[in-house]
Structure 1
Amino acid sequence: MEPDNDCGWKPKVGMTFDSEESAYDFYNAYGGRMRFSIRRKYCKKNKLTKQIISRNLVCNKEGFRKVDKRDPLTKTPRAETRTGCEARLFVKLDVNSGKFVVIDFKEKHNHELVSLDCAHMLPSQRKISDTQVIELDLASESGLRLGQSFELMGREAGGQQSLGFMKLDQKNYLRTKRQKSLAYGEVGNVLQYFQQKSLENPSFFYAFQLDNEEQITNMFWANA
């Protein structure tokens, strides 16, 4: 841990940022130094412009997991990962300066921080670099399975622990890319096909979900 006499990397009340994203990046970098993960909790927006006017950034162990009604029936329930930690950074937009100001900063955690050699694998610290993105795209286009490409990149990096991301991050990236690549026109062709199937058999069922940019997010169908 670095000494506190140099406070350039440590949040303080009154510190300003050009944007909410800048505040997140700063607090995340601080979390990386201190060896904890962060997440966005809630924000307040201007009712007219929908602009974010305040944001609460918290430790990833903030709060407690909600009770799952299925828990009594679960043979191997998930381990509890949250501890009710109160460490946080709260920023609010100053309408005069147009900058986000730190209004509240709570430093102390109620849990052990991870070891230094594991800090880079915390959820908010993991990142797929631009170079790695190119490699993942090439591997996917070449027909390599997810596990194969992840193992190959791990060997090139000197071990999977040196990649800076997990297989889950790779899976999420490729899934998001596929979703964005399906434009509304392509969905129309699929819709036409499903309509034809429905005419052939009324018991055939299908459903779509699109986002605000008319790109497909979910698709479901069931044969008769």
Structure 2
Amino acid sequence: MGNEEEHAPPLMDCLDIEEQCTSARVDEGELLDRLDELETDDGCPSVPTMLPSSDCNDIIEEPKQGMEFNSFEDLMVYYKQYAKNCGFGVMTQRSEKSEDQSVRYVTLGCARGGKARIKSSNIAKPRPTGKTDCKAMINALRVEGKMRLTTVNNSHNHAISPQKSRFFRCNREVNETVKRVLDTNDLAGIQLNKSYGSLVVGAGGFENLPFLEKDCRNYIDKARHLRLGSGGAGALRDYFMRMQYKNNSFFALMDLDNDERLKNIFWADPRSRAAYKYFGDVVTFDTTYLTNRYGMPFAPFVGVNHHGQSILLGAGLISSEDTETFTWLF
């Protein structure tokens, strides 16, 4: 299918290399983003009962058994705000949905809950997750249309820092307004570090932004996968229609996002479809090829014929390598 030179490094490796070449601000942000990997104290600091909100003068009440919320979304907003003011991250540990797909039961806990595991496969440089098996959590059950807290534990077995709350992943968000600015500047050829700098100036400082430069960089990297350039999607559609007109056995499918931009493509010509009937017992799948200037991973389905030769059974171009995309492709 190709030489080793055609293999592109994994996306995260590219990001790591790119971040090492950015400014000191990014390095500091990355360090703070990995707060959960730092060594923590063994003590259990107490959490104040009433905490001032960082966004306004309202008081965030400490979770108590019996508290009720109108919806699961309201519960999430409340607990994330409480955690942000206290200085810890939030994750969903367990959840269960009803037949109408509404959340019936949920457990929200500290992001450091769970057993510690080594994330890196490099034995020489192990990278712990920072999990401390923290038991801080809340259980909520839907009762009479409302989410009611049934179990509450507000004690942590690690140090917490309200001053660094904005660096936790659960508190970082690039909103739609910022995305439009980043998209526009990227199309105009403005470097991302300059776009981020303008956002910092507009917000009055780094501390006023709910995201880091690498969050913007990750968004732009993904957004670029969705752009085929002027007329690119239309040209592909016309080509597929011509091929299907010439031969009804030619199969092609295109997946568009909410903005009608091309996300994913799959196609298989008649020869590939015929080959699959005979040699489809074993199929290999690989997305490590980057064959176009838009950065969309090429995803070939390859089989082996009776001569031991590789044959193409189908192919795709995908926008990202996540579960949703692979589900669509397969």
What is the TM-score of this pair, normalised by structure 2? Answer: 0.51
The aligned residue for residue 185 of structure 2 is 139
Shift in alpha-carbon separation, 1:3–1:110, aligned structure 2, 3 A: closer
Shift in alpha-carbon separation, 1:20–1:74, aligned structure 2, 3 A: same
Cα distance in 2 between the residues matched to 1:38 and 1:120: 12
Cα distance in 2 between the residues matched to 1:93 and 1:143: 50
Cα distance in 2 between the residues matched to 1:217 and 1:175: 16
When the two structures are aligned, how many residues end up with a matched partner? 206
- AA aligned opposite 2:256: A
> For the Cα contact (< 8 Å) 1:179–1:217, is it kept in 2?
no
Q: Residues 129-150 of structure 1: CA distance to partner in whole angstroms, max 9, x if unpaired?
A: 4442332222233233444433
1:206 aligns with 2:281: no
Please state whether the residue corresponding to 2:170 is helix, strand or coil.
Answer: coil
Shift in alpha-carbon separation, 1:159–1:179, aligned structure 2, 3 A: same
Cα distance in 2 between the residues matched to 1:88 and 1:157: 33
Cα distance in 2 between the residues matched to 1:180 and 1:16: 41
Shift of 1:117: 2.9
Shift of 1:5: 6.4
1:4 aligns with 2:112: no
Cα distance in 2 between the residues matched to 1:163 and 1:173: 16
Shift in alpha-carbon separation, 1:42–1:5, aligned structure 2, 3 A: closer
1:59 aligns with 2:107: no
Cα distance in 1 between the residues matched to 2:90 and 2:77: 10
- AA aligned opposite 2:78: F
Equivalent of 1:75 in 121, 124, 130: 124
Please state whether the residue corresponding to 2:92 is helix, strand or coil.
Answer: strand
Identity %: 21
> For the Cα contact (< 8 Å) 2:89–2:110, is it kept in 1?
yes
Please state whether the residue corresponding to 2:138 is helix, strand or coil.
Answer: strand
Shift in alpha-carbon separation, 1:92–1:178, aligned structure 2, 3 A: farther
Equivalent of 1:22 in 56, 62, 74: 74
Q: CA RMSD in A?
A: 3.9
Please state whether the residue corresponding to 2:166 is helix, strand or coil.
Answer: helix
The aligned residue for residue 50 of structure 1 is 101
Larger Rg: 2
- AA aligned opposite 1:202: I
Cα distance in 2 between the residues matched to 1:150 and 1:8: 31
Q: Residues 164-223 of structure 1: CA distance to partner in whole angstroms, max 9, x if unpaired?
A: 2023422444456567785189568x434x749969x9358635779xxxxx7259xxxx
* Unmatched 5+ stretches in structure 2: 1-45, 52-58, 228-254, 274-309
* Unmatched 5+ stretches in structure 1: 211-215, 220-224
Cα distance in 2 between the residues matched to 1:91 and 1:179: 39
- Between 133-142 and 52-61, the greater mean CA deviation after superposition: 133-142
What is the TM-score of this pair, normalised by structure 1? Answer: 0.72
